[in-house]
């Protein structure tokens, strides 16, 4: 079975209305391979602007809108939080959950992340679940143990069958924003472990889940990374703020 390829842009706390306009104009000229989806995840204030701009350019079929986070609550006295319903009213289809920066800076646990994944699925959003190890954990051969521990609470919360409706992004923490990148072979080895871990629970589901690489993928290394058997796309950080470079990565996705 052929899995879909996904290239997702994570702008983090960067960008402005000018970048929204430039990105929409640039992506309007993009020629994608069949079975490739592009997801753009700007900061919350720019979600409506991106949605409206994409509609004006008739890009809704090719470009999906994503958010960088979501609350595990549907509504209530949670100052500063954003619900799935709010995101949907902005045209959001995907949501990044469990990014290493959320785990590290805001102390989000794998249990909380599992609750968020469940809420997103319940609302019809597609979660992009981020997992990854630190450099110390990689150096001490703990990568597989760490990734398993991050995935298992989600499996326990939603059941393995629901993984047919999620995306997983492997983001080695030591390669995020550092300029370091896992070699294609190293990245493939880890992606293969993730798929095998899922297959130990259910083979059919494991074959359907798109696995993205999220460690400093850029225009120079994207082709070799995306050529690997278990790497179905990328979660792009810094390179997604540069329209021309992001277009190169999108065009490299095979589908």
Q: Is 99 a catalytic residue?
A: yes
Is 171 noted as a catalytic residue in this protein? yes
Residue 10 annotated in ligand binding: yes
* Bridge-based pairing state of the strands 5-10 and 36-41: parallel
Q: Cα-atom radius of gyration of the chain, to the nearest Å?
A: 17
CA distances 26 to 8, 29, 59, 212, Å, are: 15, 6, 11, 23
From the candidates 37, 99, 101, 133, give the one annotated as an active-site residue. 99
Q: Is 12 annotated as a binding residue?
A: yes
The CA-to-CA distance between both ends of the chain, in Å, stands at: 12
- Cβ atoms 173, 134 nearer than 8 A: yes
Helix 17-27 vs helix 47-56: crossing angle, to nearest 10? 30
- 58 marked as binding residue: no
- Is 134 annotated in some ligand binding site? no
Burial of 239 (0-12, 13-18, 19+ CB in 10 A): buried
Active-site annotation holder among 72, 101, 133, 171: 171
Q: Hey, what are 29's tokens?
A: 């000229």
237 is in an annotated binding site: yes
Catalytic amino acids? 99, 171
Q: Provide the annotated binding site.
A: 10-12, 177, 216, 237-238
Could you list the residues known to form a binding site for substrate, using ranges. Answer: 10-12, 177, 216, 237-238
């Amino acid at each position: 079975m052929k899995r879909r390829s996904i290239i997702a842009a994570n702008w983090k706390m960067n960008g402005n209305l000018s970048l929204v306009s430039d990105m929409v104009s640039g992506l309007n000229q993009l020629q994608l391979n069949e079975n490739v989806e592009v997801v753009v995840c700007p900061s919350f204030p720019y979600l409506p602007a991106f949605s409206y701009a994409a509609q004006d350019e008739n890009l809704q079929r090719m470009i999906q809108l994503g958010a960088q986070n979501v609350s595990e609550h549907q509504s209530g006295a949670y100052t500063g939080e954003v619900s799935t319903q709010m995101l949907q009213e902005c045209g959001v289809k995907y949501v990044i959950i469990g990014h290493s920066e959320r785990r590290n800076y805001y102390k989000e646990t794998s249990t909380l992340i599992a609750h968020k994944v469940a809420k997103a699925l319940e609302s019809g959003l597609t979660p992009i679940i981020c997992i990854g190890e630190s450099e110390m954990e990689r150096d001490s051969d703990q990568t597989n143990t760490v990734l398993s521990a991050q995935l298992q609470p989600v499996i326990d919360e939603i059941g393995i069958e629901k993984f047919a409706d999620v995306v997983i992004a492997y983001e080695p923490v030591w390669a995020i924003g550092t300029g370091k990148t896992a070699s294609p072979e190293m990245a493939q080895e880890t992606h293969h472990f993730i798929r095998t871990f899922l297959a130990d629970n259910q083979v059919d589901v494991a074959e359907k889940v798109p696995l993205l690489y999220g460690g400093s993928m850029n225009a120079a290394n994207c082709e070799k990374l995306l050529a690997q058997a278990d790497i179905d796309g990328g979660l792009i950080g810094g390179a997604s703020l540069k329209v021309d470079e992001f277009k190169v990565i999108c065009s490299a996705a095979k589908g």
